[in-house]
A and B are shown apart, each in its own frame.
Chain A
Amino acid sequence: MWDWETFFHYLHSFYLIKGAGVSLALSIGAMAIGLVFGLIAAMMRMSRHRLIRQPASFYVWLFRGTPVLVQLIIIYTGLPQLGITLGVIPSALIGLGVNEGAYLAEIIRAGISAVPRGQFEAARAIGMTRTATMRIVVMPQALRIIIPPLGNAFNGLMKTSSLASVISMEELLRRTELLIQVQFKVLEIFIVAALYYLILTTLWGFVQQRLEAHFSRSVTASSRSRDKAPQVRLNDVVLSHDAT
């Protein structure tokens, strides 16, 4: 039987709200780590030198090719065997962040290579250095392309963060499970947890809309360009990410 009273009781449970807060903080932290790793890996993969490209390709291949759940367990439970002991929070942050970085690297790389080559050449021709060209001409245009898939990645990450419950990180899912162990109101409490996740992703949806509007203010990019923007590749990245 569905128990409304239990449902409403836990709907404003401070214990669960704090769990949701932890989930959000974990996601933000992991995203920040992921962005740093992703940007570095993307830049490395676009290098002219094979010795710089290959380690980045290996990183992306390894972390996209294995389940993040397995990665988390290896980091938290496996590494101590090698003398590397990380606490729950560092393990969760590193595991989720480094994994996310592998996906973000692909998003960022696709965004940068979607900026037509002519933009780069025009910047070089007026005397901009490589760095200035990236900063003033390429990145602002790439950002416009990157922001939507990046937003989707963060949406995905907020849900993926629930995997940290497996290494006993006390985020929303873990706290839900702990509650159920004493309450036995499985459906009600899980529905509450689901609602919290829904609230988080919905709120993020609003933020994302604002961000996208902000970065597409100056319209255009690839639609009119003669250089073909690899939109398909971008979609591939997003789709494969959702599949994790």
Chain B
Amino acid sequence: MVEANGIHKYFGHNHVLRGVDLKVRKGEVVVIVGPSGSGKSTFLRTINHLDTPDEGWVRIDGELLAYRSAGSGKPVALSDATLSEQRRQIGMVFQQFNLFSHMTALENVMSGPVHVLRTARAAAIEDARNLLALVGLDDKATAYPDQLSGGQQQRVAIARALAMHPKVMLFDEPTSSLDPEMVHEVLQVMLDLSRQGMTMIIVTHEIQFANKAANRILFMDSGTIIEEGTPAEIVNNPRNERTQKFLRLVMGGV
């Protein structure tokens, strides 16, 4: 479903991704953990080309993203319009929610279908209402983002991404800027999604959530994947020393 191959990324002289590979099957939930600065968020952002990889490529359902292979020669970059079209298949949820602040919750959820997919307004409204109900916010349709709590905003943001009926959902530290009492409501929505078979790639520090929801956990450090395995393997029995150290820290050990 999602295939990333040999992803490299530089910020100036800083080599933040050093050849990252990832294959995600349909319906699989992959959680990426690792210390801050390990490149995990950057990697997630290269999957939908929000950050353009300097090397490597991404395929969604076999379709090469952002480039068209030109026979034997170098791949040709696609136009902004075509890349935008490809991005519709990939939903993304951000740490800072990034709800459009001049739109209500309902308008936020409708924005993709109406402005990108050109869905008829009535149909888009109905779909958006259903999605708001799905994330438990049907009573907040007319609220503006700044009238919502962080947890509510993030749930609207999830609904907004789902409104495009994406093939895969990317979550970039979705609970990291939430107050502790709101983390649960967002994780619950994500857990429901995973149970409905949504393909998900999640960058998070919530190890307990990863343990419960993930099919596979990847541990990243210094721009590469150091270790990967099932939650049981990674959480309970990490082999790599850096993984062990990181898990001790995030799980509150001393």
Contact = CB atoms under 8 A, between A and B. Distances in A.
Interface of A: 116, 118-119, 121-130, 132, 136-137, 140-141, 144, 218-221, 224-226
Contacts of A221: 101-102
B226 interface: no
B50 A121 contact: yes
Contacts of B145: 220
Most buried by A among B94, B100, B103, B116: B100
21 contacts: A118-B98, A119-B98, A119-B100, A121-B94, A121-B98, A122-B98, A122-B157, A123-B100, A125-B87, A126-B87, A126-B111, A127-B84, A128-B112, A132-B84, A141-B100, A141-B101, A144-B102, A218-B144, A219-B144, A221-B101, A224-B146
Given A125-B87, A140-B102, A141-B101, A130 B80 contact: yes
B146 A219 contact: yes
Interface in B196-223: none
B9 interface: no
Nearest to A118: B98
A19 to B, nearest CB: 41
A31 B131 CA distance: 45
A120 to B, nearest CB: 9
Interface in B64-91: 80-81, 84-85, 87-88, 90-91
Contacts of A141: 100-102
Nearest to B163: A126
B50 A124 contact: yes
Contacts of A220: 101-102, 144-146
Contacts of A219: 144, 146
Contact of B102 (A121, A126, A218): A218
B100 A137 contact: yes
Interface of B: 48, 50, 80-81, 84-85, 87-88, 90-92, 94, 96-103, 111-112, 115-116, 144-146, 157, 160-161, 163-164, 177
The 3 tightest CB contacts between A and B, nearest first, are A122-B98, A118-B98, A127-B88
Given A122-B92, A122-B99, A129-B80, 4 more contacts: A121-B98, A220-B144, A221-B102, A225-B101
Nearest to B146: A220
B170 to A, nearest CB: 8
B43 to A, nearest CB: 15
Nearest to A126: B112
Contacts, number: 87
B101 A129 contact: no
A127 B85 contact: yes
A132 B116 contact: yes
B81 A226 contact: no
B115 A132 contact: yes
Most buried by B among A122, A130, A141, A225: A122
A127 B96 contact: no
Contacts of A127: 84-85, 87-88, 112, 116, 164
A218 B91 CA distance: 26
Nearest to B99: A122
A126 B98 contact: no
Contacts of B84: 124, 127-129, 132
Contacts of B96: 116, 118, 226
Contacts of B99: 122
A220 to B, nearest CB: 4
Contacts of B91: 125-126
A142 to B, nearest CB: 10
A127 to B, nearest CB: 4
Contacts of A121: 50, 94, 98
Contacts of B101: 119, 141, 218, 220-221, 225
B100 A122 contact: yes
A69 to B, nearest CB: 40
Contact of B164 (A126, A136, A140, A225): A126
A124 to B, nearest CB: 6
Given A127-B87, A130-B80, A220-B145, A122 B115 contact: no
B205 to A, nearest CB: 18
